Structure 1
């Protein structure tokens, strides 16, 4: 091949396909052979649906590619197979809807089409709602296409209890969820702090109507009860106290500021310490820099929301703003449930731990066995020793993985029937072992916790923390390590319903010896976006200057509209009590080097891949 180009075409409405065009270097090119060669290296959705051989690529008078002059192919459906049964048809529709695709063939792998662990858990929830059966997460990973998954529907267990509005007396006190109770207890012990704040800043450009924005925020707080809930002690038990809807009042502030003062003012507002028993867990500040230039800062306490919550929050805010500008009522669909419904449903779903057949008891048995003999502490390359009381002060450092390594990491994960998260976990696990953390590597991670479709658009604290414990003894190869990690992670996903706070209470470790010190997160939730009339919104980075754990390594994939790998953005949040910035920069660089070596030599034992000098103590 002398020249080649691939474009995304839509020659028929609603049918977008990749089409390749090549100019042969010497002799002829066989399109079928080229497609087979690409299929070895690329996931199915990145392989062109057709390849045309041209004498020359069409050019514009300026010498650039003339995309309009590229001929349309005559498609012959050789790789796509449509559904043959009603079950396959429904499954294919569920796949396509969740993955944002026009259609899905019954042979297409969910993960090759862009699926990941988070989306797999969502798909299981949709299958549960649609078919009334429970498909285990391991089964989904092992049969990820429509044609292989459809026969499993008849073998699935009875679907779990569906989430629906609870018919409780709305005047009754609602208990805290175990996750909320954990944050409430921390707040009681440590006092109000910004450690668990979730700040979201938007740079708004255009003629903003501040009055309409204030009205929109009030409407969003009315829509989501979690945004107007107090957390109080009632008859010696903690409870949620839901306030009646009201204007924003003290929760909305407009501040005139200049660009020079903005960073300090943003940081100060993001670090606001909520009094959870006296005020709603959400504050909004609008910074006006110029007539058509504002920064909107929303600070949400984690007890009332999570990372996923930010997308529906901003979507509802944009809808309400557009309505308030016209003095209209927002035209959104009613939410199927509120957080109080989830609270009561979760208690019913888990059941009593005294009942050995309950979900809580079954999952508790798994976690007690999985975490038996947990090491006291990972030996991390800290610059300073641990103090008796952590200050929770933190900083962050950003780094990036380029598109080429991104593609190779995803490819190796796919070959190993794993996910990109598992591949990144393998890199971090191997890195920590190389820095002297031992062979029993324990990491924390999160799952969305939205196991019922009714929760998709609700603001609330649903995320759950999992403890992922991997044995790296015996000097495995990268492929062998991926196999171990896959088994650990799938088992953890299958037991994700037991609240982490309850597990921590039962294991009863001292606060100075947490279950894990290092958190690993792949941010694959929908990115928050604000789309409103005459105003454009762009996310602005803001930090609280705190660290929840010794280290939090977060990754976010970047992909083009047609699914091409564009790199992974990485960030390390670290406790400044323990680490200097230079040490964290060194860790990031070594992680990149190790990931590169792992994809280049996946069958080589990991000890031969290290290029890590002795870590300074």
Structure 2
């Protein structure tokens, strides 16, 4: 918490707010029609009482030579530190919940009060704390103590609560003494770290769920909540399954969530974090402090295994994890040393909370003639990609859930669909625990209808041709039309086809054939487009590298994709010269070309190319650590291209700008679709896609 705050003290990501509406309430002593009025002075004094009771609330964390230490302040500093303020408006109260703390200088709490009506019968109170000083479960004793103190102060008395036998600092010292040093392999923390090193070894850096947007390089931590309910029959099935297999309801939900995440991400290695209260002794229950810890629960999900088998494995893993729950999460992170990024949380990006700490005064409370009720704050922080919070309810209240999601990545509609799939999947898995988890129903009727294309489930036709066959046919049918335009130069379909076919034959003679990976490190221009199409025509797969990509990253991608040859220009050859173990071939589209060069056919290639052969391997941007390669075959790409042309029809009368960098998959429709239908492709200059005025100028210049 201290490190994250030092990294960015302006954000409210780790604020824990309790916003309460205070209104006149009926008093049993005076009759139901008598309303109370807020005693502002008594409320202020109650806050002072609580800070005096809990010293962690008046603790800052400065550093000496880079090492943080706790500095407990005196309650006499209360006014100077502006802990208590009367806000000018309700907006000022809400702002208190969304404004960050500097924990090196500030106490980790602020209280703001504002009058919400002209009659003085309604107020808004915000009690906002930073996570370094307390956790979610601390908010209940915190507000309870404020209510107790306020009730006493309105009667002219001091609060008569039971003195706290320990403070949070006592707990912290005890924890250090009991756990020992991480450097000592025989200490409690040393032994537990040994378990976590083995348990989480080789864990993927990040779990990528299907998102609506590309992950930003720096997460904003802005989030939103989506609420959903579990039908009674589903929650009953969870309970029954837990009893049948000797597990807990949490384990059933954890196993089902792991299946959902595995199927959504196409991954079999799923890490889900879960918070633990960390309050193992009754003496800690009334204490305010940061006791919560985070455990990373790892599940290996195979689509062919039964839910019963997975549940048995999850039970064993979860029990082991909870017996090694003493070591703080930050110590686990430090020991494992995973990829650290501003884009995602380390080790796990999904959190499962079961029966999370109740919101402060969920049902409201009457005190001193006032009614205190919670007020929801619109802005919620998303500390991870997705937080799944499940509340089991009771006999009168059904199970419910909240998905708190990062708005950097997801739209509300996507999360709503995810919650529907989650409930549907749990129902299917618990109904047939002996069935394969990969066969459990995931899509709803409407989704299935959309996938199949009609309510009757009509077949989707997929062309058996190759992408290169479609482009070659267009070259033959419109040889005089302009295929490419770049910085005033026009290239006809005949010239384009001839240059592609000539280069493709040169590649074939160099050993390029089906599934052979060929790198491309060429800036935007005619050569770039010709190089890509020539690789595909030869039967190979193209692997693009940005000309500004660091050499070590290119080396990694070359090694991963198995690239032995990279196409370059004279201007970009030096980029690849720093990468070992690859050859280069310079591509030039200057000078004359034999326009009679025939299309490359199956006879010319080293081996026949089928729709299942790869057409490209594109690597992710690497914002989540190392870039990850994604390879697609001709069949999938051609199907996507025809679908796109059907959804957004273009033909020989259209002009299409090649805007997207060729290292992103969005560039694929721009690189191929226009040339499949005889349209003109306008290539922006290197870096031009980031210059709006230049793009507008090109549009005007090339407008038909």
**TM-score (norm: length of structure 1):** 0.66
Answer whether contact 1:256 1:289 (CA < 8 A) is retained. no
Deviation sequence 1:150-205 (CA, Å, 0-9, x none): xxxxxxxxxxxxxxxxxxxxxxxxxxxxxxxxx11111123331010001112222
**Residue 217 of structure 1 aligns with which residue?**
47
Alpha-carbon distance between aligned partners in 2 of 1:253 and 1:421, rounded to the nearest angstrom: 42
Name the counterpart of 2:203.
374
Q: Aligned residue for 1:255?
A: 87
Alignment of structure 1 residues 16-31 onto 2, 5 Å = none
Aligned match for 1:597, one of 403, 425, 428: 428
Taking a change above 3 Å as real, the CA distance of residues 527 and 376 of structure 1, as seen in their structure-2 partners, is closer
Picking from 160, 165, 169, the partner of 1:340 is 169
Following superposition, the deviation at residue 605 of structure 1 comes to 1.9
Counterparts of 1:76-475 in structure 2, within 5 Å, are 183-206=1-24, 207-246=37-76, 248-249=78-79, 250-255=82-87, 257=89, 262=90, 264-290=91-117, 291-473=120-302, 475=304
Deviation at 1:408, TM superposition (A): 2.5
Match of 1:528 in 2: 360
Change (3 A) 1:292 1:479: farther
Of the structure 1 ranges 241-250 and 192-201, higher mean CA displacement relative to structure 2 is found in: 241-250
Distance 1:551 1:437 in 2: 17
Distance (whole Å) between structure 1 residues aligned to residue 69 and residue 379 of structure 2: 27
Answer yes or no: is the 8 Å Cα contact 2:60–2:108 preserved in 1: yes
What do residues 112-159 of structure 1 show as CA deviations (whole Å, max 9, x unaligned)? xxxxxxxxxxxxxxxxxxxxxxxxxxxxxxxxxxxxxxxxxxxxxxxx
Aligned-partner Cα distance in 1 for 2:386–2:250: 17
Q: 1:606 aligns with which of 417, 425, 437?
A: 437
Distance 1:266 1:409 in 2: 41
RMSD: 2.1
How far does residue 477 in structure 1 lie from its aligned partner after superposition? 2.5
Q: How does 1:490-569 map to 2 (within 5 A)?
A: 490-512=319-341, 514-525=346-357, 527-529=359-361, 530-559=365-394, 564=395, 566-569=397-400
Q: Is the 8 A contact 1:350 1:498 kept in 2?
A: yes
Gapped regions of structure 2 (runs ≥ 5): 25-36, 452-639, 641-665, 667-704
2:413 matches 1:582: yes
The answer to whether the Cα contact below 8 Å between 1:255 and 1:285 also exists between their aligned partners in 2 is: yes
Contact map agreement 1:519 1:553 (CA 8 A) in 2: yes
Structure 1 Cα separation of the partners of residues 217 and 186 of structure 2: 41
- Tell me the equivalent position of 1:129: none
Can you give the 5+ residue segments of structure 1 that lack an aligned partner in the other structure? 1-182
Distance 1:517 1:393 in 2: 15
* More RCO (CA 8 Å, sep 6+): 1
- Closer/same/farther in 2, CA of residues 295 and 420 from structure 1, 3 Å limit: farther
How many residues were matched structurally?
426
Deviations 1:74-115 (A, max 9, x none): xxxxxxxxxxxxxxxxxxxxxxxxxxxxxxxxxxxxxxxxxx
Partner Cα distance (1:540, 1:570) in 2: 19
